[in-house]
Amino acid sequence: MIALADCNNFYASCERVFRPELCNKPVLVLSNNDGCVIARSNEAKALGIKMGVPAFKIKDIIHNNNVNVFSSNFTLYGDMSNRVMSIYADECNAIEIYSIDEAFINMSGIANLEEKAVSIRNKVKTWTGIPVSIGVSKTKNISKNCKSYS
């Protein structure tokens, strides 16, 4: 069995780890030179802010809703990714890093898959502060779809 573990709203979640006062508040992360939105918290998504939109086009939404806006910090995101991936590697036989915030995890030989997925998710949240969704299936494609429902 294969699991797909995906960090939720990864860049925004990384910013929140060191700024707990941002919990439940809208957060945006902008591209290099603060041009476009590259990450959003769920609260920012609820305001209708789309990925890739130029920051200047949503300045009123940002101002009127007290949206917290950050320049991208790829050093931080890389470090947090390494922490998360090391937890996956410690917990399972093998992982295949898919992107900065996603990895396929070999769950072969694990008796209770749901229990293991919940355990991994909880450990990542406790040790790093990053929320994770995990889907488990026989194939990578299906596990990616299952992740949407976790």
Task: For residue 21, give Cα distances in angstroms to 18, 49, 78, 128.
Answer: 9, 21, 22, 16
Among residues 21, 102, 114, 115, which one is catalytic? 102
Q: Is 43 a catalytic residue?
A: no
Which token pair is 124? 């990542």
Q: What are phi and psi of 28, to 5 degrees?
A: -125, 145
4 bridge partner residues: 104, 135
CA nearest neighbour of 18 among 75, 66, 59: 75
Using the Cα atoms of residue 41, residue 43, residue 44 and residue 45 in order, give the sign of their dihedral. Answer: positive
Ramachandran quadrant class, 57 (left: phi over 0; alpha: psi -120 to 50; beta: rest): alpha
CA distance 54 to 41: 17
The set of catalytic residues is 102
